[in-house]
A and B are shown apart, each in its own frame.
Chain A
Amino acid sequence: MLARLGSQVRRGAVSLEPEPRLPSGIPDLDRLLGGGFPYGRLSEISGPSSSGRTSLALSLLAASVRPGGLAAWVDAADAFDPASAAAAGAPLSRVLWVRAPGVAAALRSTERLLEARGLALVLLDLALPGAPPHVAPAAWPRLLRAAQAGSAPLVVLAAGRIAGASATLALELSVVSARFSGTPCLFEGLETQADLVRGRSKPAAGMACVRLDALRTPG
């Protein structure tokens, strides 16, 4: 039968099409990630406070909505700063801000948004102060299935890695330095290091240094 079918059948063929990815807007990081964050997959950005997580997430948000799409920021920590998002270049009218009153509401809201389909990005902010948020182990595979069905990149922001094996990609951020300089002294931004600790595509590991510039100060 195989001889009759001839070249119509390939055994053990591997797709040569690159997986579509959402660029983060940071060239060095996109090179590390093989193009950006994968669609229809769950990715993690983790790190302690002042490690640059939120700056990276907002850059990704801006990159996702600038071409005209919609993105959602599910905010369990109620920490989203519209001024920072606007400074990052995100048109605020294209950002859906969901101020979830707790982790459970945030998870359910994320699932609803993924089921709606058509969103360019769904970002779940679980970087709550204090102890890591309690998330039932069954929640992550469920969110992953919803992300796969909805074809949107789902990115989880947290203080530490919490999605386990459900995450296709995991970035851990750490601060290198905080720049204070000039006269009068100004806070110029953070230098942060992003380590790719989990990635199913090549390269499987690596790091990139990201420089963040402060554009706005109070007053």
Chain B
Amino acid sequence: MRVACLRVPDLPLAARLRAEPELAGAPLVIAAAAGSRAEIVSVATAAAREGVRAGQSVAQARTLCAGLVLRTCAPALERGARDALRDAALSFSARTESAPPGTGAYNAEAACFLDASGTGRLFRSESGFATALAARAGALGLPAFVSVASSRTAALLAARAPGDPGDVRVLAPGQEAAWLAPLAVDLADPPDDLAETLTRFGIRRLGELARLPARALATRLGPEALRLAKLARGESDDLPIEVTLQAGFEEATELEAPLERLEPLAFVLRALLGRLTARLEARGLACGELGLDLGLAEGGCEARRVGLAAPTTDLRTLLRLACLALEAHPPRSAVASVGVTTSGTAVRTDQLDLFRPAGPPPALLGRTLAELESLCGAGRVGAPGLPDDLRADAFSLEPFPLTRSSALAPKPASATPVQALRALRPPVAAQVRLSRGTPHWLHSAVANGAVLGCAGPWRTTGSWWSSERFAHDHYDVRTSDGIVSRLRHDRIQRSWHVDGVYD
């Protein structure tokens, strides 16, 4: 088995730079909490050059670096970054697992293992595979180290070797021990007391540790040293990496200050949706339904669910739909945290089909439907339908099918064109004067005057068992202003409306 390791050395720092890429190159530090006494947990290169180190207080760091850029730990951002790292790995292999959390000097790292067996044939070489994997992680905002070896341990140790993000290391099978030999023992993250002992013995390299006899090592330094020597040789009892079941996608952030207005919230949503769609595209998926989770400043949270006519990764469409959902149902108070979630939907791939009926390709049609929904609102775009309902004005709007039959539809029964009705939504209130129970004068916003022709009534009733019961009498009337309309008398409400105009 060949194992690849995708490693980000400092997750809090990487997560913050992923959310605020404009801070790249700045003397950025991440503190554990707010306040001048808070401990620094991550230091960017520009700040480290000024002498800032992890473990110092914020106050100490400010004295060393006047232009310090301070941010606090953001668990939501770190979760998103960790998930993005996993998505980068999953985009190459379904056999992916997260590495155990680092300890000691490596407690800020995040790493994934993925089964890289056979990938050399897909990418010409394992080096090509590793380069592509590093590029994918970089595209998701996570510059990472990538290594390929025959065991998880060897791959992780190689990924910890000094270098620059984006570096790839390929350990040929059987050459792991030789490759790891010149590296420092510290890469194996030994316990402090064992590390001190090894230093006293003059053992500073993994190769030196690996050459020690196993029995003597165990006798003098204990089983932990024996385990460390095994790691130094790149050996480990590796079980195969299991196939990972797909989990949902989430990007979230906590706001520095609560937001009440939609415009600044839209900026935050744009950034979140941008990261979300990048992850979806890396996995070859799209967003079919979008969830918005809003944490309120006064406590509690609210959720919004936005359905899409067709899966899409178009940022503009998703942002517009999210904003429309918030405009329609604004949060009851200022928002302190925002999260976007989706389960990820497979993207249709178009194949040339000589027998496909005329029309836009399904993928393009799906994107167009999503854009139309963002323009018109959710639930306003689709195929019309006629539900099983006795109401004369009943209709439904169904999701528009992206694939359909090419069968020729039968011609209508009548050779002459059919008289159509223009619906009035909502129906327009009318005042009606009756003569012998028949309308003889009508006043409304759409039809006025004496009734010159009248047909009806036609009675429809239904839903008598529920609160939606109705009883309508319909008339087709022509008024003196030339309008032919459909008049409705609601026998329960005792009201008159014009609910359509024949046109």
CB within 8 Å for A98 and B380 given contacts A81-B500, A112-B372: yes
Is the pair A50, B476 in contact by a Cβ cutoff of 8 Å?
no
| Minimum C-beta distance from A78 to chain B (A) | 5
Is the pair A49, B368 in contact by a Cβ cutoff of 8 Å?
no
Within 8 A of A (CB), among B420-459: 420-425, 445-446, 453-456, 458-459
Q: Does A41 contact B (CB under 8 A)?
A: no
Q: Does B400 contact A (CB under 8 A)?
A: yes
Q: Does B136 contact A (CB under 8 A)?
A: no
Chain A residues with Cβ below 8 Å from B472 are: 218
Is the pair A99, B418 in contact by a Cβ cutoff of 8 Å?
no
Of A59, A83, A96, A190, the contact of B386 (CB 8 Å cutoff): A83
Q: Does B419 contact A (CB under 8 A)?
A: yes
Say which size band chain B's interface belongs to.
35 or more
| Minimum C-beta distance from A176 to chain B (A) | 11
Is the pair A88, B484 in contact by a Cβ cutoff of 8 Å?
no
Instruction: Produce 1/0 per residue, B406-424, CB < 8 A to A.
Output: 1111111110111111111
Instruction: Produce 1/0 per residue, B379-404, CB < 8 A to A.
Output: 01111111000001001111011001
Q: Does B182 contact A (CB under 8 A)?
A: no
- The stretch from A14-22, A32-40, A209-217 touching chain B is A209-217
Of B369, B422, B482, the contact of A127 (CB 8 Å cutoff): B422
- The stretch from A2-10, A67-75, A133-141 touching chain B is A67-75
Instruction: Produce 1/0 per residue, A51-86, CB < 8 A to B.
Output: 111111111001001111110000001111111111
CB within 8 Å for A82 and B395 given contacts A67-B408, A219-B458: yes
Q: Give the nearest-CB partner of B360 in chain A.
A: A118
Chain B residues with Cβ below 8 Å from A52 are: 503
> A22 vs B474: C-alpha distance in the bound complex, in angstroms?
36
Chain B residues with Cβ below 8 Å from A92 are: 383-386
> A88 vs B376: C-alpha distance in the bound complex, in angstroms?
26
> A94 vs B459: C-alpha distance in the bound complex, in angstroms?
32
Instruction: Produce 1/0 per residue, B360-380, CB < 8 A to A.
Output: 110011001101100111001
Of A81, A87, A185, A190, the contact of B484 (CB 8 Å cutoff): A190
| Minimum C-beta distance from B388 to chain A (A) | 13
Of B381, B476, B478, the contact of A98 (CB 8 Å cutoff): B381
Is the pair B371, A112 in contact by a Cβ cutoff of 8 Å?
yes
Is the pair B455, A187 in contact by a Cβ cutoff of 8 Å?
yes
Q: Does B359 contact A (CB under 8 A)?
A: yes
> A90 vs B369: C-alpha distance in the bound complex, in angstroms?
20
Q: Does B279 contact A (CB under 8 A)?
A: no
Is the pair A219, B418 in contact by a Cβ cutoff of 8 Å?
no
A residues sitting closer than 8 Å to B (CB atoms) are: 25-26, 48-59, 62, 65-70, 77-101, 105, 108-109, 112-113, 115-120, 127, 129, 175, 178, 180, 184-187, 189-190, 210-219
Instruction: Produce 1/0 per residue, B482-503, CB < 8 A to A.
Output: 1111100000000000001111
14 contacts between A and B (CB under 8 A): A65-B409, A69-B357, A69-B358, A70-B358, A81-B423, A82-B395, A88-B412, A89-B410, A98-B380, A100-B375, A186-B455, A216-B418, A218-B474, A219-B474
> A135 vs B418: C-alpha distance in the bound complex, in angstroms?
31
Is the pair A105, B376 in contact by a Cβ cutoff of 8 Å?
yes
Q: Give the nearest-CB partner of B486 in chain A.
A: A218
Is the pair B376, A118 in contact by a Cβ cutoff of 8 Å?
no
Is the pair B414, A95 in contact by a Cβ cutoff of 8 Å?
no
Q: Does B197 contact A (CB under 8 A)?
A: no
Chain B residues with Cβ below 8 Å from A189 are: 419
CB within 8 Å for A25 and B360 given contacts A54-B422, A99-B397: no
Q: Give the nearest-CB partner of B383 in chain A.
A: A93
Of B407, B420, B455, B482, the contact of A58 (CB 8 Å cutoff): B420
Q: Does B199 contact A (CB under 8 A)?
A: no
Chain B residues with Cβ below 8 Å from A67 are: 358, 408
| Minimum C-beta distance from A67 to chain B (A) | 6
Chain B residues with Cβ below 8 Å from A109 are: 372, 375-376
Is the pair B383, A66 in contact by a Cβ cutoff of 8 Å?
no
Q: Does B125 contact A (CB under 8 A)?
A: no
